[in-house]
A and B are shown apart, each in its own frame.
Chain A
Amino acid sequence: MLLKRLYIILLTIGVLACEKDIELDLNTQSDKLVMYAFIYPDSTLNFHLSKSRSILSVEDFGQVEKGRFQLFVNDNFQGAYILPSDTTWSKWPEFTFRSGDNLRINAYELNGDTVKAESYIPQAINILDLDTLSVVQDVADNGTVQMLKSKVRFQDPGGQNNFYQLLVIREGWGTIGSDPYYTRKTIIYDKDDAVFSQGDQSGSLLPGIDFQGLFTDAIIDGKTYELTIYIPRDNLFFDYYEDKIRITYYLYHHTFDYYSYFRSIILADGYGGFYEGLPVFEPVKIHTNIQNGLGLVSGMNFDSDSLVFEK
């Protein structure tokens, strides 16, 4: 008993660590304008303009009181607009966009800095085929599980760098009494396909960072490719109120800027697994395509296909 107590005490001492506030003179950086816009064809423009803050500020961002922006589509000036100062995102339904549009946005604070960004709306890459098959998959942590093997076939345009994301959404419809019932969730699927993991280091017991279905055409350039994913079959089970389920496969065709920004914030968000919460990693630089500022402006496009199940 005594030995045990002694050891507990010594272990406690050995692993005892402490934290305290320290003071370092941080270089003062002037606040930068921060701009975000994600632009889909046939959809409303959502726009954000704010200011950066000192890292020691408790605010995540600063409001821009007198913000303005100008929009150019295919070099045609669409007008200059005053941004409301009381919302994080402003909606602009007066604009419509099409695949392939080139976009340019200038934003500025009255009597202040100006930021610029250029992007385009990528062409949708069509899903040529969606095949599904129910399979039994070996999973070491609980033997075997039923999976829905899904093959998404598409043609990668050759001669250019393409950036993709495959997103799978489960939606359910039903009623509770006479009230409609709706559920929606993103399905986290196994990303074992070669397009997701090109590294030699990964293993099922040393999982890498989940890049949420992002991939490039590095190994499929110009090819028709059949991307295989496995979805746990429990996603096909109806819950108590559901009468219909729809599983939708979204194949996003991203711009380089969106892809790079997305990847960098996933990396910066931290590492899971063994080292979670341990800030001993090299800093990650977050991508931006905003000249003289921060943030991201990008066109977006996708094609989708779905499976529908009814009770």
Chain B
Amino acid sequence: MLILLVNPSLNGQNVLYKQVELSTTTGSTQYFLSEIERQTNIVFSYSNQLCFQEEHQLTMQLPTVRQLLDALFINCPSNYIVRGSKIIIQPIDGEPQKFVIKGYVLDSSSKEALIQANVYEPELLLGTMSNNFGFFSISMPKGFVHLSSSYVGYKNGHHYINLERDTTVYFMMEPKAELDEIAVVGERVPGAVKSTRTGTIDVPIEQIKKVPVYLGEVDIVKSIQLLPGIQSGGEGFSELYVRGGGPDQNLVLMDDVPIYNASHLLGFFSIFNADAVNNVRVIKGGFPARYGGRLSSVIDIRMYDGNNEDFKGVASIGLLSSKLAVEGPLIKDKSSFSVSLRRTYFDVLTSVWQLKEVDKSRYYFYDFNTKLNYKLSDNDRLYFSAYLGKDQYGISYNEQFIPVESPDGKQTEQTVKTYDESDIGWRNYVGSVRWIHTFGNKLFANTTLAYSDYRFFIDQTLNYMSDGVWSKGSQNYYSGIRDLSAKIDLDYMPSPKHYVRFGGSAISHTFYPGIDVVLREIAGSTPVDTTFGGTAMHRPEFRFYVEDDFHLLPRLKVNMGGHFSLFQTESGKYYWSAEPRLSARFLIKDNFSVKMAYSQMTQYMHLLRTATVAMPTDLWLPVSDQIAPMRATQNALGFEYEISKGFNVSLELYYKKLQDILAYKETTGYFDFASDWQSKLTVGNGESYGFELLVHRKMGNLTGWFGYTYSKSTNQFDELNNGKAFPANFDRTHDISIYSTYQFSKKVDMGVTWTFGTGNPITLPETKYYAPQLPTAEANGNATYNQLINERNSYRMPNFHRLDIGFNFKKEKRWGSRLWSVGVMNSYGRQNPFFLYFADSENEQTGEVTRSLKQFSLFPIPIPYVRYTVKF
């Protein structure tokens, strides 16, 4: 190994990086040293112990000085000490001493952490990655070290360090102008230092923001749906179906805290305000041991910490909502904050034109994100983050005028107008406190206390006369899940060849299956509050993991680990699971690798679904003595070829088995409250396999991806479909997603998405037959015939495809910049099916009645959008 010792004041202009042009590739050590001296004015000094060879056969023609010296002294490791234009060459005796370089990779202007940035020594091929806080640590041999950092959308950062002790460095990365195509080439991260992961996609947030979207609402989840292997539940919905798994099998994390319902407006929009999001990572397979609890995917979303340098803001007005995000330092170099708020204004506008209406309705949703951080010391930082989000639809009706009593209890002629009110909605409240601490130079700890509370609610308030007194009664129904958790994650980086992660968590889940609260308030008396209905279920869960990312061979990098968990049921019994996780990457060439992964996952809670589409009434429930945890095993084999920096092609094959998955029996359903929920469910297995092709370009004027998925997902339940296997609900054989943005100039860019998918499976009856009025029916039923279903999901809806186009027009202003975003969704007006049904229709002229299968489409015509954004 060759070590360079140089004056610390040297930087990128170091003489070692001067280029030398070789007229011949054959010659003695002395000849090549002289050639360097002749071309670069460098003077060499060396001892007589240095090994000189009579003949070298080199393959380089335009090497740097360092590359040439490395080649000349490959058989006798030497230090190079640089003194101005003089280089002293000293042979090394024994193993070189090592020191730790730790630090952070940050955005130069905002000081935001850059997550999963590569940090590496380009010549020694040693490297690591920054963690979720931008932190890295790497051990390097004493002497001169050239440390680089690379992150998509940023210029590469470099540090040249004379390493004589443990050192802290900060990479202040500068964003790169997209129009600068040339800079993209030639700064590729060496393959040896890159990730081992399969099934993992990092989507740059800037790409997400340019995806054309319904009503101009930037939506992270809808962008994720465009990735191969991931499907939406139906047109317009923000659900995720990953590799044959259901929507409850995705672990959605917002700054390490699980989110149980990530949608607004009945699933049409996700709760993540893109202005507050720093990083999005999607894991579909090859799960690292640090993640657990869901079978099919992990969506790891990291929010901005807040600009440490300046006050910055983004404000935006759209058709549906307005947004404001502000961030800045609180105490210079100590503390910063970020706050973002999004709210719709249906209710404000509808209230104006409902002024003269007797009955009034309103709908709104909002998101509020905030994050504060405080630097306690160089090794300690405290984070506080919170998310509040709510959807509420309400109506006011039954206008009444209540007489006002005078203080002496007599009725006056004055009246107060009141309404009866009904509201339905759902909300997420999430909060966390995190403390990060570095123990020494190699151990990084993230300790989190988190609170997550999801509720669905229905409220009703009524005014009525009771015994001549005006009274108020209210009822509230709610269901949901509340988590309190404590968690510690430790990153240990003993050497550049190992990255060890370990940790554990304890979670106290409280499931609220459905609780009624009745409040009765009679004027002049104390309100009476009664709670009844379902009882809260408390369930503890414990998790532990350990994993190591390490080089087994120079070309073979492995991530191996295990995830262990315990979950308590109602009787005090514990379910447990020990899940091995393994992924490996073998470098065939520096830019071509083959990857494989094996993982097992266990899930202790499931979503009792109301319908085949997302509904707010969907209910999270735990495993029980009767209902065992769902389990999944996944194998994957992948190939990845890096065409150039930030431009990759990957092909991945996967096979997934699901055990003990749940479905409703065929003779029951969500609203069958006459049956205990556990007895309504039946247990079965699932299987999914396929391959996914992704061509992803993250940098340059033309960015985006092409994704193709071939997949087959089936389920088998003894009690469904006569025990025969049937296509999973959202099995999609072919799925194509093309997303592209083109930057015409600094002012104008265009985004286009085109998606195609095989129609979703659907169950259709083929036969009808007589249905009598039963002799004991309380009420006459509507149906005069019954429908017979022969096979489940045996038909497919028509194929789905859609083109969305959007433009962004940006203009720099004295105070910042403004952005107009306009576009058209479903540009060619494709009528995609939302659901199918049978209906009779009568020919008005002949009176002939015919019956046909009809398709209902949700967004059948081109839908324009516009949004105005200012950055200041």
Contacts and interface: CB of A to CB of B under 8 A. Distances in A.
Interface in B835-855: 835-838, 840, 849-855
Given A20-B831, A61-B769, A14 B215 contact: yes
Contacts of A50: 769-770
Given A138-B520, A282-B669, A206 B477 contact: yes
Interface stretch (A29-37, A125-133, A149-157, A227-235): A29-37
Contact of B771 (A57, A196, A265): A265
Interface string A3-31: 11001001101101111111110111101
A21 B666 contact: no
B786 A36 contact: no
B540 interface: no
Interface stretch (A69-77, A97-105, A208-216, A303-311): A208-216
Interface in B303-343: 319
A61 B787 CA distance: 11
A143 B464 contact: yes
Interface in B465-503: 465-466, 471, 473-477, 479
A281 B776 contact: no
B669 A271 contact: yes
Interface string B763-788: 11111111110111111011111111
A21 B675 contact: no
B783 A202 contact: no
B524 to A, nearest CB: 15
B50 interface: no
B767 A52 contact: yes
A5 B857 CA distance: 25
Size class of A's contact patch?
35 or more
Interface string B236-275: 0000000000000000000000000000000000000000
B189 to A, nearest CB: 44
A21 B839 CA distance: 9
For B471, B668, B672, B833, which residue has the most chain A Cβ atoms within 10 angstroms?
B672
Given A20-B854, A23-B853, A281 B515 contact: no
Interface string A129-150: 0000000001011111000000
A283 B613 contact: no
Interface stretch (B52-60, B131-139, B630-638, B790-798): B790-798
B533 interface: yes
Nearest to A89: B772
Contacts of B460: 140-141, 205
A110 interface: no
A250 B777 CA distance: 12
A263 B768 contact: no
A11 B676 CA distance: 41
B676 A198 contact: yes
B674 A208 contact: yes
A204 interface: yes
Contacts of B860: 16-18
Contacts of A57: 768, 851
B44 interface: no
Contact of B768 (A24, A48, A53, A88): A53
A205 B458 contact: yes
Contacts of B122: none
A201 B673 contact: yes
A208 B669 CA distance: 10
Nearest to A4: B353
Interface in A158-188: 165, 167, 186, 188
A94 interface: no
Interface stretch (A78-86, A237-245, A272-280): A272-280
Contacts, number: 300
B776 A252 contact: yes
A300 interface: yes
Contact of A54 (B612, B766, B781): B766
A303 B424 CA distance: 43
B4 interface: no
Contacts of A208: 671-674
A265 B475 contact: no
Nearest to A61: B770
Contacts of A167: 776, 778
For A10, A165, A201, which residue has the most chain B Cβ atoms within 10 angstroms?
A201
Interface in A34-52: 34, 36, 38, 48, 50-52
Contacts of B107: none
Interface in A250-304: 250, 252, 254, 260, 262-271, 273-275, 278-287, 294-295, 300
B110 interface: no
A34 B769 contact: yes
B588 interface: no
A26 B677 contact: no
A286 B786 contact: yes
Contacts of A205: 458-460, 475-477, 516
Given A3-B349, A144-B466, A262-B774, A60 B784 contact: yes
B858 interface: yes
For A38, A57, A285, which residue has the most chain B Cβ atoms within 10 angstroms?
A285
B462 interface: yes
A201 B512 CA distance: 9
Contact of A55 (B352, B466, B764): B764
Interface in B267-285: none
A93 interface: no
Interface in B568-618: 608, 610-613, 615, 617
Contact of B786 (A28, A260, A265, A300): A265
A14 B319 CA distance: 10
A58 interface: yes
B127 to A, nearest CB: 49
Given A16-B859, A18-B857, 19 more contacts: A24-B795, A29-B788, A32-B767, A48-B772, A55-B767, A60-B770, A138-B520, A140-B475, A201-B513, A203-B516, A205-B477, A205-B516, A207-B673, A270-B782, A275-B611, A280-B612, A280-B835, A282-B763, A286-B786
Question: Which 4 residue pairs are nearest across A and B when measured between Cβ atoms?
Answer: A208-B673, A200-B534, A199-B673, A285-B666
20 contacts: A7-B349, A52-B767, A53-B767, A55-B766, A138-B473, A141-B473, A142-B464, A143-B466, A201-B513, A202-B534, A204-B475, A206-B514, A206-B617, A212-B779, A213-B778, A254-B776, A267-B667, A274-B617, A283-B763, A294-B788
